[in-house]
Amino acid sequence: ARLVVLVSGSGTNLQAILDACEDPAYGAQVVAVGADRHDIEGLARAERKGIPTFVKRLGDHDSRDAWDRALTRAVAGFEPDLVVLAGFMKLVSAEFLAAFPQAVVNTHPALSPSFPGTKGPADALAYGVKVTGCTLFVVDPGVDTGQIIAQSVVPVEDDDTVETLHERIKVAERVMLVDNVGRMSREGWSVDGRRVRLGI
């Protein structure tokens, strides 16, 4: 399967996918990596592998719609089977999603529906939950509200900081992402109401 991965930061989730794709049996290849900003490690990780990259900065466009259309065109140009949002810190529009029907997935560092948005680990820590984790879902136009594909649970330790907790989540997140993107790539998937089935 042809993957386009969108990042906004360090790209450790991207790196895990890149490493998995080294094995032909994994069944996927990252054909491009896109970002909403320049000079991030996520782009460097792709460049080191000779994978095409592109940057679509909101500030370079006259409007959010123009940015969204430019992003959609850039991603579509690589003819992805699956678009993976891995730490991509922008909301994509219904128009973007319509270009890749049920083929955009996102990983979120909390157990949806708890703690949506950009501060999942901090919100979990502040709330005082004893377990949290990460969620892989098919993106819909809401904020972290799509159909859940997989979740992974991690404990919250008494002495956790946001950073130590998020690092623990990211360990589980990389495994969840690699395992499920691989299965989707090899077996296909279908979405039936709120349920995602792997294997066509």
CA distance 44 to 23: 21
Minimum CB separation of residue 1 from ligand GRF in Å reads 20
Residues 6+ apart with CB under 8 A from 64: 58
Span 156-175, contacts to ligand GRF by CB under 6 A: 170, 173
Is residue 65 classed as helix, strand or coil in its secondary structure? helix
Q: Which is nearer to ligand GRF, 76 or 162 (CB)?
A: 162
Span 89-108, contacts to ligand GRF by CB under 6 A: 107-108
CA distance 21 to 51: 12
Kindly determine how many residues on this chain lie close enough to bind ligand GRF according to the rule CB under 6 A: 15
Quick one: the chain helix, strand, coil %, rounded to 5?
40, 25, 35
Say whether residue 11 binds ligand GRF (CB under 6 A): yes
Is residue 64 classed as helix, strand or coil in its secondary structure? helix
Say whether residue 10 binds ligand GRF (CB under 6 A): yes
Minimum CB separation of residue 59 from ligand GRF in Å reads 20
Span 59-88, contacts to ligand GRF by CB under 6 A: 86-87
**In the structure encoding, which two tokens stand for residue 77, read together?**
């140009």
Q: Is 136 among the annotated ligand-binding positions?
A: no
Binding residues for ligand GRF, rule: CB under 6 A, are 7, 9-14, 42, 86-87, 107-109, 170, 173
